[in-house]
Amino acid sequence: NKCWVDVGFYGGIIPGNAGELKALVRAGVRGFKGFLIDSGVDEFPAVSSEDIAKAMGELKDEETFLMFHAEMIPPIADSVGDAVQWSMPPLSPSGPLSSYSTFLASRPPSFETYAISQILSLAHLAPDLPLHIVHLSAIEAIPLLRQA
């Protein structure tokens, strides 16, 4: 007649907060999530590859893990790099907003595969730190993850 609930708190990775993450782990935060594209929430801006690298460096020896909403607009050229995140968000979807196909068209697989490639390229900085991709949807990402 009793219900038991296991509650865990998760923190966010945002630009500039890498130095605060260890204290949050020690206060009981189980893991951290970051967006690699505009989240739509002003308090939860997208992180760059540099932000991710700093977070991994801070947390590499901690009992925690990192989760990522892995969508990132691929740069048009190598010289653009992470600056592409600060450009305008993707164009508004065309079609009925209640249609799943409209949502899929607004998030091409390249957004996800590029973001996952960026995360995996940094994984060597914290080889024992578990990483989790939130809401994996692009089948094209599976070979990247298997190879990792």
pLDDT at 101: 82
Phi, psi for 31 (deg, rounded to 5): -165, 180
Whole-angstrom Cα distance, residue 39 to residue 15? 13
Question: From the CA atom positions of the chain, what is the Rg in Å?
Answer: 17
* Mean of the per-residue pLDDT values of the chain: 88
Name the pLDDT band for 81 (thresholds 50, 70, 90).
low
Write out pLDDT tens, residues 90-138.
556 678 888 888 777 777 888 899 999 999 999 999 999 999 999 888 9
